Amino acid sequence: MIDTFQQRAAALDAADPLASFRTEFHIPRHEGHDQAYFCGNSLGLQPKATRQALIDELDDWAQLGVEGHFRGRHPWMPYHAFVRDGLAHVAGALPSEVVAMNSLTANLHLMMVSFYRPTRERPAILIEQGAFPSDRYAVESQIRFHGFDPADCLIEVAPDAESGTISMAAITRAIDLHRDRLALILWPGVQYRSGEAHDLAEIVHLGHAAGAVVGFDLAHGIGNLPLRLHDANADFAVWCSYKYLNSGPGAIAGCFVHERHARTDRPRFAGWWGHDQASRFKMGPDFQPTPGADGWQLSNPPILALAPLRVSLEIFQRADIARLREKSKAMTAFYAEAIEAVLGAHLEILTPKAPERRGCQLSLRVRAGRERGRTLFEHLERQGVVGDWREPDVIRVSPTPLYNRYGDVVALLREASACLG
């Protein structure tokens, strides 16, 4: 049966109109062959153009010193603007609604300073049960900072399926139940453990109808799904760039603020790079925010962190996020079919089957239990089949359309079969 899937994969790869993008990435090697790398959900692979982009900035620094701010190949003063259109493309936003800055959790805190404004009547934040720990820590600390008790004001929506997924019906019930107390709904675009994708526009609609602000953590959504943040009417969103945006370990993160908040008088933590550009260098004492997402910047942008993001976003603009999504749906469906046919007696796919309810990630659980699952994960890693493990018992496999092939699944099938019997 594996041979049949290998033949089908070869035909699909030969017909893939996006196949050439794989040649633009460094693929890690294992014993003389390319790894079957399925870990773009954790750290995306390095575009080959990234090295030269960094060298160019280092050379400009060496040769121009401070004049690199104005005379470099990509002048540093307006450098954050070089990634603006690319971010708008992958976020489904207006260019004025996006900015690259800081890290995801730092941006989440900055957003909550402005958009989590609890009152005695509305102190609560709604998140999913099992949220990524950094999100939960940030939310809990914000609740405490405002003098409220997370035991009362942090509302977690429990999964309503054995797979650990959360249906829209469950989200709707939770919002309806707590509607009079909700100050903020913070929800993932794609849940990190299950791989479940959520209907952002519907969540915004429900949240706003309940009187709540709605924001999103798009760590696993940006670069994975075609987002439409502006049209969805989200208040804010935050993301990292080291996963599907392939911008390197610890890469600069990003932020979306809807244009209706462009000139908001909501409180914010201010810094000089968020000051209006026209008067920033007059060094006045009074903060005048730049309209739009730029107004939440604190400091001048880190050029050596922005250069890899610029390279990556140029690739996304050439590939087009809509075309990548079409390949992703087809490739993940093929992987799911192959895993169920060959390994279904041993592995359970936790991620929803419906294409609109998942991105590229498939979350796998070994039916024989955690110990056997951990054994499989470590075996695959030794054999150059690289996914990742999330406690308590999930192996995440994410075929990424920019650089994965349909044929990469064959290594997974063969090695998992050898391990599981």
According to DSSP, residue 21 is labeled G
Instruction: Tell me the three state secondary structure of residue 72.
Output: coil
Question: Letter for the amino acid at 160?
Answer: D
Instruction: Tell me the three state secondary structure of residue 11.
Output: helix
DSSP annotation string for 336-357: HHHHHHHHTTTEEE-S-SSGGG
DSSP annotation string for 138-179: HHHHHHHHTT--HHHHEEEEPP-STTS---HHHHHHHHHHHT
Options 3.30.200.20, 3.40.190.10, 3.40.50.300, 3.40.640.10; CATH of 55-318: 3.40.640.10
Compute the distance between CA of residue 157 and CA of residue 196 in angstroms, rounded to an integer: 14
Question: Letter for the amino acid at 378?
Answer: E
- Positions of CATH 3.40.640.10 in the chain: 55-318
Cβ-proximal residues to 61 (8 Å cutoff; 6+ apart), any chain: 68
- Positions of CATH 3.90.1150.10 in the chain: 2-46+320-420
DSSP annotation string for 225-269: S---HHHHT-SEEEE-SSSTT---TT---EEEE-GGGTT------
Q: What is the pLDDT along the chain (421 residues), one digit of tens a residue?
A: 999 999 999 999 999 999 999 999 999 999 999 999 999 999 999 999 999 999 999 999 999 999 999 999 999 999 989 999 999 999 999 999 999 999 999 999 999 999 999 999 999 999 999 999 999 999 999 999 999 999 999 999 999 999 999 999 999 999 999 999 999 999 999 999 999 999 999 999 999 999 999 999 999 999 999 999 999 999 999 999 999 999 999 999 999 999 999 999 999 999 999 999 889 988 999 999 999 999 999 999 999 999 999 999 999 999 999 999 999 999 999 999 999 999 999 999 999 999 999 999 999 999 999 999 999 999 999 999 999 999 999 999 999 999 999 999 999 999 999 999 8
Q: For the domain 2-46+320-420, what is the CATH code?
A: 3.90.1150.10
Question: Letter for the amino acid at 254?
Answer: G
* Omega before residue 392 within 30° of 0, cis: yes
Catalogue the E-assigned strands of 284-330: none
Six token digits for residue 75: 């002048």
CA distances to 78, 135, 237, 277, 369 from 300, rounded to whole Å, are 10, 25, 21, 12, 49
Cβ-proximal residues to 221 (8 Å cutoff; 6+ apart), any chain: 188, 189, 190, 197, 227, 239, 359
pTM recorded for the entire structure: 0.97
Query: Do residues 238 and 227 touch, judged by C-beta distance below 8 A?
Result: no
